[in-house]
Amino acid sequence: MKNLIYILLGAGFLAIISSSASGFLTTETSNTLDNLYEETFYIDPENIEITNENIVITLSQQNKNNAEKKINDCLNYYKKVYENLNVNCDLIVKESVALNSSCVHKSGVFVKEETQEYIKITTYSNC
């Protein structure tokens, strides 16, 4: 009978330690991953053209999904990479792979002037 009480006390003690340890590990692992995770933009551009004051980045994809977000991310990323240039990001949607037809669906421009900077995103309805 005495051994049964010791076993129950030991099992209860191990259960308490196990549940608190698993909660601690879950919380700490989640916090660590949250701190490590930083969303960065990277889409392999199809083409990059640099002139004296401008850079034009051409992105390509099969559909129109998340087009505005990708243009916005592209502008925000490349304006940091090329600080002294006006940035233009174009998203080309391949309408038909078999016919090799495509069109510019969205275009975004980042312009930095002396006192201000702005972003303008244009959607082309003919695409």
What is the enclosing helix (H) or strand (E) of 64?
none
pTM as predicted: 0.61
pLDDT at position 37? 45
State the average pLDDT for the chain: 77
| Distances from the Cα of 53 to the Cα of 8, 86, 120, angstroms | 77, 6, 17
Identify whether residues 60 and 116 lie together within a single domain.
yes
Burial category of 121 from C-beta neighbours within 10 Å (exposed 0-12, middle 13-18, buried 19 and up): middle
Q: Using alpha carbons only, give the angle 8, 10, 14 rounded to the nearest 5 degrees.
A: 115
Q: Which domain holds residue 57?
A: 47-123
Identify whether residues 113 and 51 lie together within a single domain.
yes
- pLDDT tens by residue, 42-101: 667 889 999 888 999 999 888 888 888 899 999 989 988 888 889 999 999 887 666 677
Identify whether residues 68 and 104 lie together within a single domain.
yes
Identify whether residues 25 and 59 lie together within a single domain.
no
Q: Which residue has the higher pLDDT, 34 or 71?
A: 71
Work out how many domains the chain is built from and give that number. Answer: 2
Identify whether residues 57 and 106 lie together within a single domain.
yes
pLDDT at position 14? 67
